[in-house]
Amino acid sequence: MPLVRIDTLGAGRDRLDALGRAVHDALQETLGIPADDLFQILTDHDGTTGTLRYGGYLGVDRDEGIAYIAITMRAGRPAERKRALYRRIAELAHAYAGAEPRNVFVTVTENASADWSLGHGEAQYAPGPGPVIA
């Protein structure tokens, strides 16, 4: 159950939506995420009341077309699957939203099953005894 956050600078609603679809499709294709496992926070900054900082680093020159994509998911996927995910996100972001691959910045943060509550105050991935009332 990944939680995806995408931040862009002046991308507009349609491009932001296309980036969300690109990431979700890549997660399905490379990691086998179910189609209905869609949890995304999509934010487009206007450059005035909110903005993004970017720069060239490790030989990758970015510009105002930057798309920061932060994925939080349960731990356990091997590095080669993550590399496949990064490649596929860049490919689909280009195909769906016209994003230049150099501007597709992806991070993955992993955690444990007990770190998720999908509602009702329960840890659905790590069920245990009922709640303790203090």
pLDDT in the model for residue 33: 96
Residue 38 Cα distances to 1, 102, 133, angstroms: 8, 25, 32
pTM for this one? 0.90
Active-site residue, 78 included: no
pLDDT in the model for residue 103: 97
Mean pLDDT by 10 residues, the chain (134 residues): 95 97 98 96 93 90 95 97 98 98 98 90 80 58
Nearest to 3 by CA among 36, 41, 53, 29: 41
Please list, residue by residue across 81-107, b when 16 or more beta carbons sit within 10 angstroms of its beta carbon and e when fewer do: ebebbbebbbebbeebbebeeebbbbe
pLDDT in the model for residue 128: 79
What lies within 8 Å, CB to CB, of 125 at 6+ separation is 1, 74, 113, 114, 116
